[in-house]
Structure 1
Amino acid sequence: MNQEQVGIKTPEFVSLQFQLAGLGSRATAFIIDLLILLVVNILIIIALIIVFAGGRDLLDFTGTDSLLLGITIVGLFLINTGYFIALEYFSGGRTIGKRVIGIRAIQENGHSLTLLSSFIRNFLRVIDNLPAGYFLGIIMIFFHSKHKRIGDLVAGTIVVHERKGKRKKKLSPIEQEIAKKGLTKDDLTIEEWSLKSISQKDWNLIKTYSNRLMQLPTNERSELTLQMAWLLFPRFGLELVGKSNLDLENTLLVLYLILKEEWAYEL
């Protein structure tokens, strides 16, 4: 089926446009993830056999303790399921396969996956796999208007293509300032729990600050920076004491870069 566009209006009344990921891109990403997990599973099994078989033939399972076998099976299940849950939650809806293909899972309201939605959509892969070979999931993705499988329906999620500019855009004044300062997202480490607590309102606030910054005279620029720092730094667990106004401004601009990747939805 052809890739389609879907419009979403967030609870903050922001209109977003996404390009839905179809069966081909989703299947390719899933196969990449399965290959990664296959290698991990094989390495884990070989390591366990070497450790607990006492040097016996790797194919000799006669001496394998039933409890150890049960723990291994449960452990592999948790690893294989947890791989998708953890990566999608902590990496903005992207597993390694999704990142390679350029797609991501998001909530239907346009927000990032919550831990619960990531858990539901991936735990229900068991149902999507029925009767075998992911048959039900393939049929659902192919025929559903938003290319949803059972896990997506229950979790309220969709899978979309990453928004990448097809042509190089002229840098805005604030982007020119950031480039001039040589600032990057790697200049600041933010705890994952802090990023997950950020709302659309917080993003709009720092975006407005960044866009207005270059239009203000020096004294107003310094005053606005200090106000924003007092307001936002506690949310991210950042210290204000002992920092110059320039340090505060640079930190806020780096925060802008970090949040922009998660909240800027321009196609």
Structure 2
Amino acid sequence: MNSEQMEVKTPEYVSLQFRLAGLGSRAAAFIIDQILLGIINVAIVILLIVVIQGMSSLPAFLENSTVPIAIAIIALFIINYGYFFVCEYFSGGRTLGKKLVGIRVIQDNGHSITLLSSFIRNLLRLIDSLPTGYFLGIIMVFFHSKHKRLGDLVAGTIVVHERKAKRKKKPSGIEKEIQERGLAKENLVIDEWTLKSFKAKDWKLINTYAARFMQLPKAERDQMTRKIADLLLPKIGVEVVGESEENLENTLLVLYLHLKDEWEFEL
């Protein structure tokens, strides 16, 4: 099946276009992930063998202990299923395989995958893998109109191709201003947990701020900067009281860059 286009209308009445990832690209990403996990699994098994051999020097009543085997089995289960959950939630819907292939998991509404959605989606891998070799998941992805497996249906997620950077695109006024100020995402370190705490209303607020930034007179801009800073900057642990308007502007513009990557999905 060929990948198809999908349109999503956000709560802010913005239409987003996505290109759905089909069976081929999803299978390629999965194979890459399985190669990585296979290497880790082999390393754990080798470590288990070494530990068991080392137990031969222990007293006889400890030699038959099944503790190392039980720990290895639990570790293998957590790694093989936790890998997808952790990577997809903390890396914007991407595992290593998805990142290399150029696809990602998002919610049906076009927003980033949530903690609960990622957990449900990957928990149901146990069913999608039945009866063997992800047969059920493959069949569903192949025949479903939006290329969803059972985990996607229950979690409300879709897998789409990454947006491609548009070359030779003329920078907007706010992008020029950010460049002239020498600002970049690296100027403000925000951990993933904190970044995930920002909601759609926060993105809409700071996006509106950035859109109006160049048009507002200085007095009005300073007033808006102070109000928005009071609302958003405490979330990232930035003290607002005593800071100059220029510093607050710079911090908000860098925060805008972070949230833009998180919330603005365009092909």
Corresponding residue of 1:84: 84
* Pairing 1:50–2:50 present: yes
- Once the two structures are superposed, residues 90-111 of structure 1 have per-residue CA deviations (whole angstroms, 9 ceiling, x without a partner) of 1111111111111111111212
What count of residue pairs does the alignment treat as equivalent? 261
Q: How does 1:100-249 map to 2 (within 5 A)?
A: 100-249=100-249
Aligned partners of 1:205 and 1:36: how far apart in 2? 40
How far residue 146 of structure 1 moved from its aligned partner, in angstroms, is 0.3
> Which secondary structure state, in structure 1, belongs to the residue aligned with residue 100 of structure 2?
helix
How far residue 265 of structure 1 moved from its aligned partner, in angstroms, is 2.1
How far residue 245 of structure 1 moved from its aligned partner, in angstroms, is 1.8
Corresponding residue of 1:60: none
How far residue 25 of structure 1 moved from its aligned partner, in angstroms, is 0.7
How far residue 124 of structure 1 moved from its aligned partner, in angstroms, is 1.3
Q: What is the CA RMSD across the aligned residues, in angstroms?
A: 1.8
Unaligned runs of 5+ in 2: 57-62
TM-score by length of 2: 0.91
How far residue 64 of structure 1 moved from its aligned partner, in angstroms, is 5.9
Corresponding residue of 2:60: none
Corresponding residue of 2:258: 258
How far residue 241 of structure 1 moved from its aligned partner, in angstroms, is 3.1
Corresponding residue of 1:18: 18
Letter in 2 for 1:198: F
TM-score by length of 1: 0.91
Letter in 2 for 1:121: R
- 8 Å CA contact 1:53, 1:64 repeated in 2: no
Aligned partners of 1:46 and 1:124: how far apart in 2? 29
Corresponding residue of 2:36: 36
Aligned partners of 1:137 and 1:117: how far apart in 2? 17
Q: Quick one: structure 1 residues 190 and 40, their matched pair in 2 at CA, closer, same or farther if it must change by over 3 Å? A: same
Letter in 1 for 2:266: E
> Which secondary structure state, in structure 2, belongs to the residue aligned with residue 86 of structure 1?
helix
Aligned partners of 2:64 and 2:29: how far apart in 1? 35
| Aligned-pair identity (%) | 64
> Which secondary structure state, in structure 2, belongs to the residue aligned with residue 53 of structure 1?
helix
How far residue 15 of structure 1 moved from its aligned partner, in angstroms, is 2.2
- 8 Å CA contact 2:128, 2:135 repeated in 1: yes
How far residue 209 of structure 1 moved from its aligned partner, in angstroms, is 0.7
Unaligned runs of 5+ in 1: 57-62
Q: Quick one: structure 1 residues 241 and 68, their matched pair in 2 at CA, closer, same or farther if it must change by over 3 Å? A: same
- Once the two structures are superposed, residues 36-64 of structure 1 have per-residue CA deviations (whole angstroms, 9 ceiling, x without a partner) of 111111122222332442187xxxxxx56
How far residue 68 of structure 1 moved from its aligned partner, in angstroms, is 2.2
- Once the two structures are superposed, residues 158-200 of structure 1 have per-residue CA deviations (whole angstroms, 9 ceiling, x without a partner) of 1001111343310001001111122111211223333222222
How far residue 26 of structure 1 moved from its aligned partner, in angstroms, is 0.5
Deviates more, 1:248-257 or 1:206-215: 206-215
Aligned partners of 1:165 and 1:189: how far apart in 2? 23
